[in-house]
Amino acid sequence: MPCPQWIVFDAVGTLITPSPTVAEAYAAVGQRYGVAVPVDVIRQRFRQAFRDSESSCFPAERRGRTSEAEEITRWRWIVQTVLPEANNTEACFQDLWAHFADPQQWRCYDDVAPVLTELKRRGLGIAMASNFDQRLPRVCDGLDELSGIDRVFVSSALGARKPDPLFYRAVADELNVDSRALLMIGDDVECDVMGPKQAGWQALCLRRDSSSSDDSLLSLHDLVQWLELSPAAVGG
Ligand SMILES: [Mg+2]
Ligand 1 geometric centre to CA of 70 (Å): 20
Same domain, 111 and 63: no
Same domain, 115 and 67: no
- CATH label of the domain that carries residue 160: 3.40.50.1000
Ligand 1 geometric centre to CA of 188 (Å): 6
From residue 51, alpha-carbon distances to 11, 47, 57 in Å are 18, 6, 11
Examine residue 1 and state whether it is found in any structural domain, yes or no: no
Convert the pLDDT of each residue in 73-89 to its tens digit: 999 999 999 999 999 99
CB of 146 closer than 8 Å to CB of 15: yes
Cβ < 5 A residues, ion ligand 1: 10, 12-13, 187-188
Same domain, 54 and 170: no
Domain end point (choices 87, 103, 119): 103
Same domain, 91 and 125: no
Ligand 1 geometric centre to CA of 133 (Å): 14
Distance, in Å, from the CA atom of 37 to the CA atom of 57, rounded to the nearest integer, reads 25
Domain end point (choices 103, 134, 151): 103
Ligand 1 geometric centre to CA of 131 (Å): 8
Examine residue 117 and state whether it is found in any structural domain, yes or no: yes
Span 45-49, average pLDDT: 98
The band of 204, judged by pLDDT with boundaries at 50, 70 and 90, is very high
Ligand 1 geometric centre to CA of 87 (Å): 32
Span 159-172, average pLDDT: 97
Kindly state the DSSP code that residue 203 receives in the 8-state scheme.
E
Same domain, 143 and 79: no
Mean of all residue pLDDT scores within the chain: 95
State pTM to two decimals: 0.95
- CATH label of the domain that carries residue 66: 1.10.150.720
Span 139-154, average pLDDT: 98
Q: How many domains does the chain have?
A: 2
Domain end point (choices 74, 103, 132): 103
Ligand 1 geometric centre to CA of 145 (Å): 18
pLDDT of 233: 54
CB of 226 closer than 8 Å to CB of 54: no
Range ranked top by mean pLDDT from 55-69, 175-189, 212-226: 175-189
The band of 232, judged by pLDDT with boundaries at 50, 70 and 90, is low
Structural domain of 28: 20-103
Same domain, 51 and 157: no
Query: Does the structure show a pLDDT above 50 at 230?
Result: yes
Distance, in Å, from the CA atom of 214 to the CA atom of 79, rounded to the nearest integer, reads 37
Ligand 1 geometric centre to CA of 37 (Å): 26
Ligand 1 geometric centre to CA of 203 (Å): 14
Span 131-144, average pLDDT: 97
